[in-house]
A and B are shown apart, each in its own frame.
Chain A
């Protein structure tokens, strides 16, 4: 006679150390197997979109920093690129190059956090520290340029807040030289580590079709084998000038689209970012960075949607103007938020310990999920 079992609801979070912020997961369990996961978000809601309506256009920029606070540069980038298209501003070459350099360094920094904390979540403490060591160098580069370590407010509509420090280029090259062997070190320590592979391969499989249906973007989509990157597919700024590849998941350690694939796409993306930064540093022209900054930002009546490839996926700004100095409406399409939607689907049928592994591979930042 079979024993009667009862389903159980377990709350994971909001203070769970592996939820990467204040996120509550309502997990329905059958023994140790997951029936359903319901994420409860909004603990970090700060009314970003509504708040923008009370700001002038440049004043929104410091608040975009605070969305996905691990990739602030890229949030700035997305906003200013959209605004420049709205206003029809052509920014100087030097500005474009500096933006790409900063954006790609930020991508490396963001992925380092993603990879490091992913290891940390499932029990590998050491790689986390090595990832932070490399990220620290990037933050110092940012700090030397714009004065902040996390919330930069660096890119302005039509230009940049400060020009590069003369030491920036040599220091950046030095960092890239040191960083390349460090990726190999990380691979040996974590990526191909048997314990890690056992823990992540064949877990949380996301088929390409499901990913597309859910509107998943970024490394998660590419981990499922879909070659989609806005830097190539819908080039903005000057990304069409650089030679780089879009890494996609191959299912090398398990099934295509599992946690390991998503993890490894990020590792390979860092290599590609290094390539882009190297090329941009070689081509970096001289010039005035403030030439195109408009005195007063007053876009025409109408609306615009601009999107960029944030480290976590497609970051889109929908900006609606009524002709005044304040935006009438700002809507943000955040990659973490959209990637989060598929989370319940991924967890179904797995063990409870895998929830953490899957959540880490989704790589969310609650600052942007909740806004």
Chain B
């Protein structure tokens, strides 16, 4: 096997890397006086733009009823099979409503297909990005956690109207 010999004996001037190191340190020093680019995250919260695809939520109208008509399109389009909908009938105008609506947040890949496919704009991606669970059961979000009042989702609904 051919073994390559490497040049290892540098002269003294070659061994002195100090100018190179000083150059790096100089740049760092210069940047100390420039504005910071970092964010001190847990103390300062990051405010995402309207386009942000965070946790999917169900839109709750002002009268407290969800928009969802339990058509099940979101469950069908979901690539990760994270959504489960069980439909039931209601006396309201929309006739059908989801008796049970569950999103398994461990499975969800935040692709936004559910929002895209929804004919009623009933499921949208919110700005929530802090998703921590203590166990797997907590990660299955039912209607109690998914329903969000429409007042909090105006940003996103407007974004969808403009850019989709």
CB <8 Å contact, A59 and B79: yes
CB <8 Å contact, A33 and B163: no
CB <8 Å contact, A143 and B24: no
Which of B2, B24, B111 interacts with A153 by CB under 8 Å? B111
CB <8 Å contact, B17 and A195: yes
Which of A62, A146, A185 interacts with B51 by CB under 8 Å? A146
Which of B28, B52, B79, B113 interacts with A147 by CB under 8 Å? B52
CB <8 Å contact, B112 and A151: no
CB <8 Å contact, A126 and B24: yes
CB <8 Å contact, B23 and A165: no
Which of A63, A143, A148, A290 interacts with B79 by CB under 8 Å? A63
CB <8 Å contact, B1 and A163: no
A89 CB contacts on chain B under 8 angstroms: none
A144 CB contacts on chain B under 8 angstroms: 49, 51
Flag whether B12 is at the interface (Cβ < 8 A): no
CB <8 Å contact, A33 and B113: no
Residues 183-200 of A at the B interface (beta carbon under 8 Å): 185, 188-189, 193-195
Output the least CB separation between B78 and chain A (Å).
8
**Count of A interface residues, CB-CB < 8 Å:** 38
A188 CB contacts on chain B under 8 angstroms: 23, 27
Whole-angstrom distance between the alpha carbons of A265 and B164 in the complex? 38
Whole-angstrom distance between the alpha carbons of A12 and B112 in the complex? 39
Flag whether B121 is at the interface (Cβ < 8 A): no
A348 CB contacts on chain B under 8 angstroms: 1
A33 CB contacts on chain B under 8 angstroms: 3
Interface string of A330-352 (1 = CB under 8 A from B): 00000000000000000011110
Which of B17, B109, B164 interacts with A151 by CB under 8 Å? B109
CB <8 Å contact, B109 and A126: no
Flag whether A35 is at the interface (Cβ < 8 A): yes
Whole-angstrom distance between the alpha carbons of A279 and B53 in the complex? 30
Flag whether B43 is at the interface (Cβ < 8 A): no
Given contact pairs A126-B24, A194-B20, A349-B3, a sample of 7 additional A-B residue pairs in the complex whose CB atoms are under 8 Å apart? A136-B37, A144-B49, A147-B49, A165-B163, A189-B23, A193-B23, A350-B4
Residue numbers of A with Cβ under 8 A of B are 30, 33, 35, 55, 58-63, 124, 126, 133, 136, 143-148, 151, 153, 161-163, 165, 185, 188-189, 193-195, 202, 290, 348-351
